[in-house]
Amino acid sequence: MKTIFGIIGNPVEHSLSPLMHNSAFRKLNMDCTYHAFRVDPQDVHGAVLGAKSLGFGGLNVTIPLKEKVLEIVDADPIAKEIGAVNTVDFKSGITGHNSDGIGAKRALEACGISITGKNILLIGAGGAARAIAFQFAHEGAALVLANRTASRAIKLAQDVRSVGDAIGTGLEDLPKLIDKAEILINSTSIGMHPDTNKTLVTADQMRPDLVVFDIVYNPVKTRLLREAKKAGALAIDGVNMLVHQGAESFRIWTGVEAPIDIMEDAVRCALKC
Ligand code: NAP
């Protein structure tokens, strides 16, 4: 009998996770299937407990349920720090994990970039930024968190300082902050469809030795990444993180290393790039 996996959230219809995981299951001849389930916050307890009772292999969790799921899972330390769960596993009780930060780390590593000891400018202070900030602080990066709402970046930096090096600020001094950074990460939604011509940083503010990582993946080639290429900087797109966070969920559920290339091809093909 097939083992069922899924993603819960709302909206969830456009998630690329079913495509990504089903292509991995097919490649590895695993008798498993992965589906998207629309679940509202008031139903999240029932959905997770129901999936456990029905013998599901595991769940991904997306907006707006990532924080609420914490109430019903036994969360691992980093998911607790981040305050959000994107992976639920049923092997031993109901455990909660967050693979976003590790996905971002592996996306950079796959492009030959180590984060340990690096000066990293992380723009944004939302859910994705929080996951990246905690993971990267654990890895020994020195973080500057810059956000439109400066108070959110300052609060996040204060939280992250319990595990590593972080300061928080607004966006006013971005040019100076970029000069001091080795890696610039956009974790805001700026540049995302439909406002694809927006960017917070332009080529004239970048250097060829800067690494520019945009976690936005719709579109894949964001304006920020086009600006980075113009400046001769290394440009890394958000598909890398999407695939690596998915691969980590896959590993947590199955104990098997995911076929990254197959997952990436499936996603890039769907996004037509
Ligand atoms: P979120 O929690 O809603 O956070 C949004 C962030 O964007 C906040 O820092 C917000 O600043 C900032 N922002 C929004 N509009 C802005 C504007 N006009 N000017 C300046 N800053 C603005 O969202 P999230 O879940 O962190 O996701 C952020 C992006 O990452 C989305 O595009 C999402 O698709 C992408 N993402 C990608 C992956 C991946 O695997 N590649 C994973 C997760 C998320 P304020 O605090 O000032 O509002």
Residue 14: HSE in the Cβ half-sphere, 13 Å Cα cutoff: 5
Fold designation for 101-236: Rossmann fold (3.40.50)
Q: If you average pLDDT over residues 174-196, what whole number do you get? A: 97
Element (DSSP H or E) covering residue 37: strand 32-38
Query: pLDDT digits over 78-92, tens only?
Result: 999 999 999 999 999
Q: Which two tokens stand for residue 253?
A: 């559920």
Instruction: Provide the pLDDT for residue 272.
Output: 86
* Cβ–Cβ under 8 Å, residues 27 and 43: no
Which pLDDT band holds residue 180 (cuts at 50, 70, 90)?
Answer: very high
- Is the minimum distance from the CB of 101 to ligand 1 under 6 angstroms? no
Q: What φ, ψ does residue 235 adopt, rounded to 5°?
A: -115, 120
Q: Kindly state the DSSP code that residue 161 receives in the 8-state scheme.
A: T
Catalytic residue (one of 52, 66, 155, 176): 66
The residues spanned by each domain of the chain are 3-98+240-272, 101-236
Beta bridge partners of 92: none
Cis peptide before 41 (omega within 30 of 0): no
* pLDDT (average), residues 64-71: 97
Whether the full predicted model's pTM is greater than 0.95, yes or no, is: yes
Q: What torsion, rounded to 10 degrees, do the Cα atoms 146, 149, 154, 156 define?
A: -90
Q: What is the mean pLDDT of residues 202-230?
A: 98
pLDDT of res. 49: 98
Q: Is there a catalytic annotation at residue 91?
A: no
Q: Where are the alpha helices (DSSP H) in 90-221?
A: 100-110, 127-138, 150-160, 174-180
**Could you tell which of 66, 189, 199, 213 is best to mutate to test the pocket of ligand 1, judged by most ligand atoms within 8 Å of the CB?**
189
Tokens 């109901």: give the residue: 94
Distance 202 CA to ligand 1 centre (A): 18
Give the pLDDT confidence of 45-55 residue by residue, as tens digits. 999 999 999 99
Share of the chain above pLDDT 90, in %: 99
Residue range 101-159, pLDDT digits in tens: 999 999 999 999 999 999 999 999 999 999 999 999 999 999 999 999 999 999 999 99
Task: Note the pLDDT of residue 66.
Answer: 97
Exposure string for 49-61, b = 16+ CB within 10 A, e = fewer: eebbeeebbbbbb
The per-residue pLDDT of the chain, averaged, comes to 97
In ligand 1, the atom with minimum distance to the C-alpha of 239 is: 41
pLDDT of residue 273: 62
Q: Which CATH superfamily, name and number, covers 3-98+240-272?
A: Leucine Dehydrogenase, chain A, domain 1 (3.40.50.10860)
Q: CA 185 to CA 266: how far, in whole Å?
A: 24
Pairing relationship of beta strands 87-89 and 58-61 according to DSSP bridges: antiparallel
Using DSSP's 3-state secondary structure scheme, residue 206 falls into coil
Same fold, 3-98+240-272 and 101-236: yes
Considering only CA atoms, which residue is closest to atom 4 of ligand 1? 126
Q: How far is CA 14 from the centre of its chain?
A: 16
- The torsion defined by the Cα of 100, 219, 110 and 249, in degrees rounded to 10, comes to 30
